[in-house]
Amino acid sequence: MLPAIPRRLFPMLAATPALAQPAPAPGPAGAGYRWRVMRNGTHIGSHEVSFSRRGADLLTLSEVVVTPRVLGVVVYRFEHRYMEVTREGRFVSVASRQNRNGRIVDVQAEATPRGVAIRGSEGERMLPAEAVPLSWWEPQRFGGAVPVFGTTTGRLMDLRWTREAIAGGGTRWRCAGEVDAVLDFSADGRWTAYQVTGDDGSTVMYERAG
């Protein structure tokens, strides 16, 4: 992402027969998310998540674009686009492309009878059948109940989770380990806030863009 931030800012963003435990869909088709990415109070990019239906499948498109500027000149470019498919709340497949200052990394994952098959720049591997991608709008994947993998690496992630109640019946999740982040969800499961601390100590936050 930004200089001194890249590894932690978007591991997804971080994504992955029936595999994961079934869970409610993140919302009806069309009820997506639009965020402004803020670093230390400065607008540096956007993150949009949209949902659509294809028969029994729920398609989730996540698009991150971060282009910090100095004196109006773009000094760093990070783009991450991926499409995830779930069916009745179960992971089916994901296709991810990351562009970090011109370096392209593609990762694809697919649920198979033997497990989750990963193909990417680091080669091929097979993850446990219950593995799912780390998608920040899917809180039912948090807490360590299922193994999660990064959509820009295809590797299982070392994460530690804590959960607490917040006002209005919502939930706050804190993630530590490979990613240090805080996420809020409303009582009805909508993603309402995101904050992460970069390697350089800067604070990156999401603000609603619509």
Residue 203, domain member (yes or no): no
Better pLDDT: 57 or 210: 57
CB 108 within 8 A of CB 118: yes
Residue 168, domain member (yes or no): no
pLDDT digits (tens, 9 = 90+) for 194-210: 999 876 678 899 999 97
Residue 34, domain member (yes or no): yes
pLDDT of residue 133: 97
Q: Which residues does 123 contact at the CB level (< 8 Å), separation at least 6? A: none
Q: What is the mean pLDDT of the chain?
A: 85
CB 15 within 8 A of CB 6: no
pLDDT(190) > 70:
yes
Residue 144, domain member (yes or no): yes
pLDDT(17) > 80:
no
Domain count, the chain: 1
Determine the 3-state secondary structure of 108 from DSSP.
strand
pLDDT of residue 158: 95
Residue 206, domain member (yes or no): no
Percentage of the residues of the chain whose pLDDT score is greater than 90: 70
Q: Determine how many CB atoms are found less than 10 A away from the CB of residue 60.
A: 24
Count of H-run helices and E-run strands, the chain: 1, 17
pLDDT of residue 203: 87
pLDDT of residue 170: 96
pLDDT of residue 40: 85
pLDDT digits (tens, 9 = 90+) for 62-114: 999 998 888 777 888 899 999 999 999 999 999 999 999 999 999 999 999 99
pLDDT digits (tens, 9 = 90+) for 165-184: 999 999 999 999 999 999 99
Instruction: Name the strand (E) or helix (H) holding 53.
Output: strand 42-54
Residue 192, domain member (yes or no): no
Residue 139, domain member (yes or no): yes
The backbone region for 151, taken as left when phi is positive above 0, alpha when psi lies in -120 to 50, beta otherwise, is: alpha
State the residue range of the domain holding 39: 6-158
Better pLDDT: 69 or 150: 150
Which own/partner contact pairs does 117-120 have at CB distance under 8 Å and 24+ positions apart?
118/149, 118/154, 119/154, 120/153, 120/154
pLDDT(25) > 80:
no
Residue 207, domain member (yes or no): no
